[in-house]
Amino acid sequence: MSDPYFQKLFADRIGGANYGKDDAIYKFEKIKRAKRKALAEHPERRLLDFGIGENDAMAPEIVRRVMAEEVNKPENRGYADNGCLEFKQAVARFMQREFGVSLDPATEVNHAIGSKPAYAMLPACFI
């Protein structure tokens, strides 16, 4: 049977027309296999897993208890993407001290999780 029309439309960066056809092991499966091998070869060692996905184990009881307490506090209800006022004020002080630039923390400071997301937000400045 021939390939469906859309098969040739996949971008080259993900394999082009051959996307999904190879028998290579997916990277996350490679990580799982390496983890199993390391644990099998060294069962006496504790593996610090900084892998992807959900943790295999429950968070410690103290963590779950404190999170349950904190979720009910009004001061923890702010939308995280807006940044906290203390951070914005600290940025404004830093910019004044280091560069002599005065900024209004409430309207001229925005946080980002990295440079790429910050650059992605720049067009919104002109709308």
Domain tally for the chain?
Answer: 2
The pTM (predicted TM-score) of the whole model is 0.38
Would you say residue 75 lies in a domain? no
Same domain membership, residue 84 and residue 52:
no
Range of the domain at 121: 80-126
Same domain membership, residue 85 and residue 52:
no
Would you say residue 109 lies in a domain? yes
The three-state secondary structure class of 127 is coil
Would you say residue 72 lies in a domain? no
b/e per residue, 85-124, with b = 16+ CB within 10 A? eeebeebbeebeeeeeeebebeeebeeeeeeeeeeeeeee
How far is the C-alpha of 77 from the C-alpha of 88, rounded, in Å? 18
The pLDDT tens digits for 81-112 are 667 889 999 999 999 999 999 999 999 998 88
The pLDDT tens digits for 32-63 are 899 899 999 999 998 877 766 677 788 899 99
